[in-house]
Amino acid sequence: MQYVHLGRSGVRISRLCLGTMNFGPHTSEPDGFAIMDQALELGINFFDSANVYGWKVGEGVTEQIVGRWLAQGGARRDKVVLATKVFGRMGDWPNQSRLSAFHIKRACEESLRRLQTDHIDLYQMHHIDRDCPWEEIWQAMEQLCREGKVLYIGSSNFAGWHIAQAQELARSRHFLGLISEQSLYNLLERTVELEVIPACQAYGIGLIPWSPLARGLLGGALNPSTAGRRADKDVRKDIETHRAKLEAYERLCGTLQAMPATVALAWLLHQPAVTAPIIGPRTMEQLTSALQSLELTLTPETLKALDEIFPGPGGAAPEAYAW
């Protein structure tokens, strides 16, 4: 396994992050335990969750599964860099969501209880809260850090200017601020190249791409022998929308003698700003196959061919659309 620093922090994480979103809704608890055991055995030390995963309001189903796995001992907690998130709705009362200091404190305490741990290594804001001032957010996060309940802070789904705004205020408070940003990023979705990636690189923030396979579109969506999420009506619509690109992509993968999912992950690993793509295996087979991406080297010619199939926005703003 390869390890890198998470942003400008001193902590080192595996180049693949184990996403746990499927644990509960799509993967049983015993199978989730087996996947986490195998991930740790393979050297994956970065596990990502969120308090809303499991999609039963207020229950934190997935965090509970991860917590019961950690509680088995065997130095599991010591080996894992544990990440979770705050923002989503955890109840029907007005202050049971978003990023008020009121909610952050309670959400953190509840995540700690479900995860059966005394601290969260990376506590991520799941979305920007435009109605809450940064002074309030940073005050709440600083308090959690002082209490030892949180070690590092990350963001998710932030725009580039949100990152800059957050970091400049953190700097004025002599606080480390964000060390990571979790963004939608894959061959089909490259908007973050305009503003988010430049902001991350300027501030030393690690980029953690989610949905690296674009909901399965980049995982061999045209192969009739594979189903999974591609049975979803919206995903089938996306397949038809992007059919020409996907046909060219899968032909290219064939010439490389590599699985489409492997190529999609390898492409992300070749992007300088990317720290660790999040893989969300539903099965053990999906976990082990993801590891192949670490061994696949894409030549400049292949990277150019992928850019031709899936052209990005043209690089960073403003040069991407101006001069």
Contacts of 174 (CB under 8 A, 6+ apart): none
The per-residue pLDDT for 28 is 97
The per-residue pLDDT for 224 is 75
Do residues 74 and 39 touch, judged by C-beta distance below 8 A?
A: no
Question: What is the residue extent of each domain of the chain?
Answer: 3-309
Distance CA 146, CA 127 (A): 23
Peptide bond into 212 cis (omega under 30): no
Mean pLDDT by 10 residues, the chain (323 residues): 97 98 96 98 98 95 98 97 98 96 98 98 98 98 98 98 98 98 98 98 98 96 68 85 96 97 98 97 94 97 98 96 95
Half-sphere exposure of 241 (CA within 13 A, CB side): 8
Per-residue pLDDT tens over the stretch 46-102? 999 999 999 999 999 999 999 999 999 999 999 999 999 999 999 999 999 999 999
Residue in 164, 249, 216, 206 with CA at minimum distance from that of residue 46: 206
Contacts of 282 (CB under 8 A, 6+ apart): 22, 26, 27, 228
Do residues 82 and 67 touch, judged by C-beta distance below 8 A?
A: no
Give the chain's end-to-end CA distance (angstroms, integer): 41
Residue in 118, 124, 117 with CA at minimum distance from that of residue 67: 117
The per-residue pLDDT for 225 is 66
Distance CA 200, CA 274 (A): 10
Contacts of 113 (CB under 8 A, 6+ apart): none
pTM comes to 0.96
DSSP β-bridge partners for residue 221 = none
Tokens 């963001």, located at residue? 155
Active-site positions?
53
CATH 3.40.50.800 holds for 3-309: no
The per-residue pLDDT for 234 is 83
The per-residue pLDDT for 229 is 52
